Structure 1
Amino acid sequence: MNWQHLIYFKKVAECEHLTRASEELFISTSALSKAIANLEEELGIVLFEKSGRNIQLNRYGKMFYNYVVKATGEIEEGIHFIQRAANVYTRNIHVSTIFSVGTNYLPELLSRFNKEYPQIHIELSQKTTRQILSELSANQLDLGFCSEFNQAEEYPFINRDLLYAEEIFLAIPAEHPLADRTEVCFEDIHDETFISYNHATGIASTISKAIEKTAGPDFHLKTVFSVNDPYTITHMVAKGLGLGFVIENSSLYTANIKLLKVTDLNFFHPIYMVWKDNVYMSPAANALRKYALCHRNLRTPYIRPAF
């Protein structure tokens, strides 16, 4: 059944006059008359009867009119609801980020974005890279900010844009024998005990590949703990539980650790903005995506503490 014919039927029933109805619908009288005739033919029932120059609903038309009013009302309400939900000024955006982005780049980005779009509400959560990709896959997120992942083999349906790359440093306790140095080579530390990242994090893969390139595929770090975020690593390092690799981020610094450059690893932690391919993105989410792409360099500079 042609939806437009139902709209025409409703208007004619309310105007009780073909010419007036056609003027309000901005179509010709002949086109309107043909549409009503097609509707009646499809139903197999005559809906109108003539009354002088006017036309009125017969008893079947009145019965049908009540259902058409309900149906068109529901559809119009649904259209308005969806438009309000997707409107760039009122839409909720669901965003998830890894820890390092949520403590450095993202606060500055969202602060600026909020000034331009104050009526957009952003629901923000912190997860691992794999959790973010899983939620995107299940259509539970609009956007994510995560680290390295195997796009080609595991997530070909996830789009990503590189925002920036964070250099990775070695975190050691302030009382460690190497604490008087600013840099080391991997040979200086390969026998140490480490606090590592679990495999749900993207940075674990980045570190593993860099070490494999330097020490060979058969080498494995001695690890005593595996965690999800660099904040936990820095505090465990400060307690002397092992060494760890972290990105250079002021929010991670504690007075009981020191960050050293590992000269022969020289590795970086890529940060991506991700979203699911071939899925509708609301104007609000798309506004944030475009804004982030235009503001890639908003990280707070790290000021190395003096010892």
Structure 2
Amino acid sequence: MELRQLYYFVKVAKKEHVTQAAEELHVAQSAVSRQIHQLEEELGVQLFIQKGRNLQLTPVGQLFLKRAEVVLTDLERAVVEIHEFMDPEMGEIRLGFPHSLGIQLIPQVVSEFRKLHPNVRFKFKQGMYPSLIRDIVKGEIDLAFISPCPEGHEHVSGEILLTEELFAVLPPNHPLAGEHAIELQKLKDEEFVLFSDGYSLRPLVWKACLEAGFTPRIGFEGEETETIRGLVAAGMGVSLLPEMALYQTGPLQPAKVRVHSPQVTRTIGLIRRNTQKLPSVAKVFHKFLIDYFAERQN
């Protein structure tokens, strides 16, 4: 069994399509098909079945995928650890974060860190709350910014870095757009633009509305901060967003108004897998982040 066969197998399993996998691997489709066929012959099992134009894993293929991913992840970490052992300043940090932090926070902290450690590389992975925790547990990323910070998790530990206020975002021509601060209850008759299920900001907004005495009417749902902000700016409804998600310029921007009753906040934490020691370079970055946010809280 060759390592290349495992790489090809995992890629085809993820893409569910040989042609797309070959394009991403930058090899010929025939080469991918040949390696998969040889792998199946060596194992004596069928890993895929045809389903329309796509390939679908068989039950034994699903089992093999889990093991193959572990092998490849461990190998990747071994290579990184060797490089770090030779020179920690040349290592790679695998960092996860939700989309809403990618606008301002992540570029800011990475830029500051790179001023001190210019040769350290970063591998980013964006995701929702459940996927970030899963990636930490599986060892696919070293550290992850997450909101809220999980408590009492069996495999994940972390600490809160900061608490951030959420603002009401309104269409520019909304009657309340010029107010300094409003009670959330004043938006009870509005249609809300919310994140889809699975995004941590959705239950925060929902809970705040219930505390204000009403159930929000959902007009639109989205999966990215830019979508929520753009729909609100276009007059499609109102929403609540953290301040760092509002650092944008352009012709179509919503109005930002502070909410004082109830005040709505979210915590942002940094998590890691508690059953495995952090790589040297990730440990340096972890300490940098703790100190960085501690200084800004004082």
TM-score (norm 2): 0.66
- Read off the aligned partner of 2:256 and give its amino acid letter: L
Task: Report what 2:92 is aligned to.
Answer: 92
Secondary structure of 2:89's partner?
coil
Provide the secondary structure at the position in 2 that maps to 1:291.
Answer: helix
- Name the CA distance, whole Å, in 1 between partners of 2:192 and 2:79: 56
* Structure 2 Cα separation of the partners of residues 252 and 160 of structure 1: 30
For the aligned residue pairs, the C-alpha RMSD in angstroms reads: 2.4
Task: Tell me how far apart the structure 2 counterparts of residues 99 and 91 of structure 1 sit (CA, whole Å).
Answer: 25
| Higher alpha-carbon Rg | 1
Aligned to 2:247: 251
Counterpart of 1:272? 269
Select 1:189's aligned residue among 183, 187, 190.
187
Matches within 5 A, 1:55-66: none
Q: Corresponding residue for 1:143?
A: 143
- Range with bigger deviation, 204-213 or 239-248: 204-213
Matched-pair contact (CA < 8 Å) for 2:149–2:160: no
DSSP 3-state at the match of 1:270: strand
1:260 equivalent in structure 2: 257
Cα 1:97–1:242, aligned 2, differ >3 Å: closer, same or farther?
same
* Residues 1-307 of structure 1 aligned to structure 2 (within 5 Å): 82-86=81-85, 87-148=87-148, 150-152=150-152, 155-215=153-213, 219-249=214-244, 250-252=246-248, 255-296=252-293
Residue ranges of structure 1 left out of the alignment (5+ in a row): 1-78, 300-307
Change (3 A) 1:114 1:150: closer
Give the counterpart letter for 1:84 in structure 2.
Answer: H
Aligned-partner Cα distance in 2 for 1:81–1:246: 37
Equivalent-residue separation in structure 1 for 2:165 and 2:79 (angstroms):
48
Q: In structure 1, give the amino acid aligned to 2:107.
A: P
The alpha-carbon deviation at position 149 of structure 1 amounts to: 5.2
Q: Structure 1 pair 149/286, CA: closer, same or farther in 2 (3 Å)?
A: closer
Q: Any idea what the Cα deviations from partners look like across 1:22-43, whole Å, max 9, x if unmatched?
A: xxxxxxxxxxxxxxxxxxxxxx
Q: Which position in structure 2 is the counterpart of 1:60?
A: none
Q: Is the 8 A contact 1:185 1:262 kept in 2?
A: yes
CA, structure 1 residues 298+99, in 2 after alignment: closer, same or farther (shift >3 Å)?
farther
- How much does 1:150 deviate? 4.5
CA displacement, residues 55-114 of structure 1 (integer Å, 9 cap, x when unaligned): xxxxxxxxxxxxxxxxxxxxxxxx998432555222211111123322222222211211
Give 3-state SS (helix, strand or coil) of 2:174's partner.
coil
| DSSP 3-state at the match of 2:289 | helix
Residues 298/241 of structure 1: CA separation in 2 closer, same or farther (3 Å cut): farther
Deviation at 1:280, TM superposition (A): 2.5
> What secondary structure is seen at the aligned counterpart in 2 of 1:103?
coil
Inter-partner Cα distance in structure 2 for 1:83 and 1:257: 49
Query: Number of aligned pairs?
Result: 216
Contact 1:166 1:268 in 2 (8 A): yes
| Unaligned residue ranges in structure 2 (runs of 5+) | 1-77
Code of the residue aligned with 1:83 in structure 2: it is I
C-alpha deviation, 1:229, in angstroms:
3.0
Compared with structure 1, are the counterparts of its residues 252 and 128 closer, same or farther at alpha carbon in structure 2 (3 Å cutoff)? farther
C-alpha distance in structure 1 between counterparts of 2:242 and 2:218, whole Å:
19
Give the CA deviation at 1:291: 0.5
Separation in 2, partners of 1:261, 1:137: 37
**Which residue of structure 2 lines up, in the alignment, with residue 61 of structure 1?**
none
Does the residue aligned with 2:162 lie in a helix, a strand or coil? strand
Q: Which amino acid aligns with 1:242?
A: G
Native 8 Å contact 1:196 1:226 kept in 2: yes
The answer to whether the 8 Å contact 1:196/1:223 transfers is yes
Contact residue 149 and residue 202 of structure 1 kept, 8 A: no
What are the Cα deviations for residues 142-181 of structure 1, in whole angstroms up to 9, with x where unaligned? 01111115533xx332111111111101111011122232
TM-score (norm 1): 0.64
